[in-house]
Amino acid sequence: MNPNEEEINIYLIRHGEAGKSWDEDPDPGLSDRGKSQSKLLVTKFKEELANKSFNVLSSPLLRAQQTAEPLQRELGFNIEINNIFAEIPSPGIPLAERKEWLKKIFVTKLADLEAPQMAWRDKIIESINDLNKHTLIFSHFMVINCVVGWLKQEEIVVNFYPDNCSVTKLSKTGNELKLNKLGDELTTVVQ
């Protein structure tokens, strides 16, 4: 490691439990349980982020922003809304059919993704590579899978089942990005 290259930490935080499922509401807020989960992040990060300069990015979706709010109130940071970290695009898929479409995406090979999903993936990877400061990213199941799958060189889109409010930690030194710790995983899978 070059002594001039400081290691930065990147935290991928999945939003808390949503009040409605993805096929019921295109942008649900957090459930009461999700709000409680997000409050637990304060304890998790308060000490780790003390006296550090860091950026906070959030998906534009309500559940991700609401997950960041308790920590924001405690630490007083600004949240930058970043569309790149929004949920996987599903253009032309009616709301009622999104859950079935998503189940198919789970087992799709990267090489078989359609153009909108591949462009979404490429933008996420490029954005992660461009980070140069400690960063928290409040985002979604599929975004985290995109990054983890890329770092583990997986061929299937979904290979990790991050739980609500799980924290996956990466580190970056210069241009080298490493997966340090996977967040907690779901005990049940999307049905």
pLDDT score recorded for residue 49: 87
| Burial class for 85, CB neighbours closer than 10 Å (0-12, 13-18, 19+) | buried
Q: What is residue 27's DSSP assignment?
A: S
Number of domains in the chain: 1
pLDDT under 70: residue ranges of the chain: 1-4, 188-191
Domain that holds residue 130: 8-181
Q: What pLDDT is attached to residue 189?
A: 54
The pLDDT, as a whole number, for residue 137 is: 98
- C-alpha distances in angstroms, 96 versus 31, 77, 102, 104, 166? 20, 37, 11, 15, 27
164 part of a folded domain = yes
Three-class SS state of 156: strand
3-state secondary structure at position 29: coil
CATH number of 21's domain: 3.40.50.1240
Token code pair at residue 87 = 């949920």
pLDDT at 48: 86
CB 11 within 8 A of CB 143: no
